[in-house]
Amino acid sequence: MSFDAIAPWYRALETIAFGGDLQRARIACLEEIDTPRRALIVGEGNGRFLRELVRRHPAIEVDCVDASERMLRLAWQQIERELPDSLNRIRFLQRDITSWAPTQRAYDLVVTHFVLDCFPTGQVADVVGRLAGAATTKAIWLLADFCVPPDGFRRLHARACLAAMYRFFRFTTRIAARTLIDPSPFLSDAGFELVHQHLSRNGMLKSELWRRDSLGSAGC
């Protein structure tokens, strides 16, 4: 899987298909977290969430992991252009998350926005397990992704849109997934509890905040 081929046009494609909804989903829970010290962002893409995270938390240290060299370059350019003083606190790592895992439990913030949907069930479970193993005992996990409403026309519309998207990305990026897998059971198994959920675009997009050892309760 590689997004190198579409990296230069990814933002335009996203805007054509969803306007600003995906970026709003990425940052929907940012105001609900405390001050993280060290973050692991997987599948960041072109750097727009990274920019907002660093802008809100200027002292944070970030490991930004992506399999696409071109996406990482775009993310680096975004920070170099807008927040150059933050570059010394960000590591850009070109890694395949299906075979790479951090060696220490060091991150109090894990971020997976629109990346777990690229993998089939077994790989989603494995990736979540790898990342959970690198998260601290009080870590926050931010997740933004697609979802399918439970019933009605919204469900039919979402399923049709997702089917078209999977065909496109299987052809252009060779993603392994053929259908959307909900990572929630794997996050729960790793000791995370859903604290906040925001739904948008008629229930097709979700933004979630998960916490280890949370005393909060899930809600919309």
Domains of the chain by start residue, with CATH: 4-212 (3.40.50.150)
Q: Tokens 């490991």 identify what position?
A: 63
177 contact partners, CB below 8 Å, separation of at least 6: 117, 118, 119, 120, 166, 170
Find out whether 159 and 141 touch, Cβ atoms under 8 Å: no
Give tens-digit pLDDT for 15-60. 999 999 999 999 999 999 999 999 999 999 999 999 999 999 999 9
CB within 8 Å of 132: residues ≥ 6 apart = 110, 187, 190, 191, 192
The verdict on pTM exceeding 0.85 is yes
Q: What is the pLDDT of residues 152-162, one digit of tens each?
A: 999 999 999 99
Give the torsion through C-alpha atoms of 6, 2, 123, 179, to 10 deg: 30
